[in-house]
Every structure is written in structure tokens, then in C-alpha cells.
Amino acid sequence: MNVDYLRISVTDRCNLRCIYCRPLGGRDFIEHKEILRFEEIHRIVKLFVECGIKKVRLTGGEPLVRRNIVHLIRELAGIEGIEELALTTNGVLLEPVAAELKAAGLKQVNVSVDSAERESYKQITGFDFLSRVRRGIYKAIEVGLAPVKVNSVIIRGINDSQIPALAQMSIHLPVIVRFIEYCPTSKYTKPTSDYVASAEVREIIERKFGPLSDVLVGGTNGPALYFRIRNSAGSIGFISGRSSTFCQSCNRLRLTSDGKVKPCLYSAHNYDIKKLIRAGADDRQVRDFLKKILTQKSNFTKLNSPAEEFSMQNIGG
């Protein structure tokens, strides 16, 4: 598999407290001086692009809470060789900055929404922000941050009743609603094991809306298979990190907010690039380090040194 996709967590801070990610009472924040600075992120991305990375996604924590994020996006968009620059956000702060993000060179957004109903959204995230998030999605569509993808993590007994309403968003809006299998991450998050497998989510959708048809969607990851409810404006996708193993087709590396490159979300293994650059390594030394990571990534599977627990907000999901 050609490894050409880098996800960057630009901050571990977030303005929501999702029960499955960073509930209230969870861990402390990483010290500011340990978080990668913009110029460090820019340098790492530029060198990664020279080594074959073509697609970059900013995530978090919540990337839109990082001050001057639009500036970072503009700087990254100027790096020759990046074919796709995208952002994953909870959408709370999206509406007022969507046009500016687009003008800065952002191509696409994913917006996390785990419920289409106000009370259960509040129960999951800790905040009454669903209408703000909806407005953010409409604005992203309007300014052309396309395709807008809606990410929903489904947890049994928490929001599985929301599956039809979430899927229904794809009927009226030109969005791709993607159902993600919940993955337990640490002792702070709950519940620990109640994920709903993609096959079951699909059955629930088909019971309500009839058989889904296949849709091929192009992109820098190659064509991805999505599904469509009859006569809908958008489509539906499934991310099955628990019920299937897709290591052979995994093309992504992750850069954590405190400067570690991770070959696999599920593994404790990482490469400390911040240590290298803060020790004064020149571009050739950093490039050699990145090439080594890219080579090792190709042989990596999630069974290599699995992490006992991990922090989604530091890694970026």
C-alpha cells in the first residue's frame, strides 16, 4: 500500500466532552510547550510531502479551537505537492469560519455529529450545540468544502436509536453520512465494549429506507465504496475498525499534537519527530527519519504492539 496520507492532531484541547472520547473528569491537557508549533508542523508536512505524502487532514482535539488555524491552513495549502487538504471538526465553530477556511485553501471537511436529536446530542457531548453544528454543515456545503462528510460514532444504548435519523440527513443534503464503529480507548471513556457493527447499522437503515445501492466515489485515497438510499442527494459509508481488519489497505500515518508519528491508531508504537527537530536535525536527517517510518509503516498491522489505552484527542481519531 502506498502511504500517502497524514493526519495531524493540531491540539489536544476540545470544546466538547464526548463520553466516548474525552468525558468530563478525564485526563489533563498536554503542556503548551510540548504541542507542536505551526512552523514545526509546516516543516514536518513539507518534508513528508517530499517523501510521498499527498493528502493532509487536520484534526484534534478540536482543530478550530487552535488560535490562528486559518493561518496554518493557508501555509500548508502553499506547499507544492499536497493534493488534498482537509479538516475533521465537531462543527461547533465552523459556521463563522467556513468561508475563510475555503479561501485559505482547505478543500474538504468532516463534521462529527453523533445524534440528530438535541437532548441525546447534549447527553453525548455535554453541550447544547446541535443547532450550531447544523448551521456549520449548511455553511460548509454552501461554500463548497466538498464533499462534506458527517461522522457518527454509534454506541449501543446511547445513540443506536439515532441511526435512521442520521442516515436520513443523506436524503436531503449532499453529504456522506459515515457510521463509525465505537472503539474503547481508556478507562475514562464509556462504555467499554458496546459498539454496533457496520453490518447491523446497515440492516437498521435498510429496514427503514429499503435496500442501499452502491456508489463509487473518487478521491485521493482511490475510489471508495459508499451506499445510497433511493433518490437521495448524498450517500452513506461505514468505517468498520472493530468488525474488520483493513491494515493491508491502510495508507495513513498520524502525527500527534505533541509531535509523535504513529504508524497505527491502535498501536503504542511511535516515532518522536519533535525530539529530532528540536535537537536541531537538518532537513536531510529529518527526511531520512521520515523515509524509515514510511518503509516500516508498509509492514505494520494493528497486531504489532497494540496499545492498552490511547487518547483520541491527542492522536486525532
Is residue 256 a contact point for ligand SAM (CB under 6 A)?
no
- Smallest separation (angstroms) from ligand SAM to the CB of 79: 22
Site for ligand SAM contains 317 (CB under 6 A): yes
**Residue in 60, 136, 147, 263 binding ligand SAM, rule: CB under 6 A:** 60
Site string for ligand SAM, 265-284 (x = CB under 6 A): --------------------
Give whichever of 10 and 293 is closer to ligand SAM, judged by the CB atom: 10
What residues contact 264, with CB distance under 8 A and at least 6 apart? 247, 250, 300, 301, 302, 304
| Binding residue for ligand SAM, selected from 11, 90, 170, 235, defined by CB under 6 A | 90
Would you say the C-alpha torsion 78, 79, 80, 86 has a positive or negative sign? negative
b/e map 221-250, b = 16+ CB within 10 Å: eeeeebbbbeebebbbbbebbbeeeeeeeb
Instruction: Find the helix packing angle between 38-50 and 283-298, rounded to 10°.
Output: 60
Binder among 151, 159, 251, 257 for ligand SAM (CB under 6 A): 151
Which amino acid is residue 276, in one-letter code?
L
Q: Is residue 234 within the footprint of ligand SAM (CB under 6 A)?
A: no
Q: Which residue is nearest to ligand SAM (CB)?
A: 317
Q: Does 197 bind ligand SAM (CB under 6 A)?
A: no
Q: Which residue has the cell 463520553?
A: 19
How many amino acids of this chain bind ligand SAM (CB under 6 A)? 20
Q: Interface with ligand SAM includes 125 (CB under 6 A)?
A: no
**How far, in whole angstroms, is CA 232 from its chain's centroid?**
25
- In the three-class reduction of DSSP (H, G, I as helix; E, B as strand; rest coil), residue 168 is classed as helix
**Vertex 31: Cα angle to 265 and 316 (nearest 5):** 20
Using CB under 6 A, list all residues that contact ligand SAM. Answer: 14, 20-21, 59-60, 62, 88-90, 112, 151, 153, 180, 182-183, 185, 312-313, 316-317
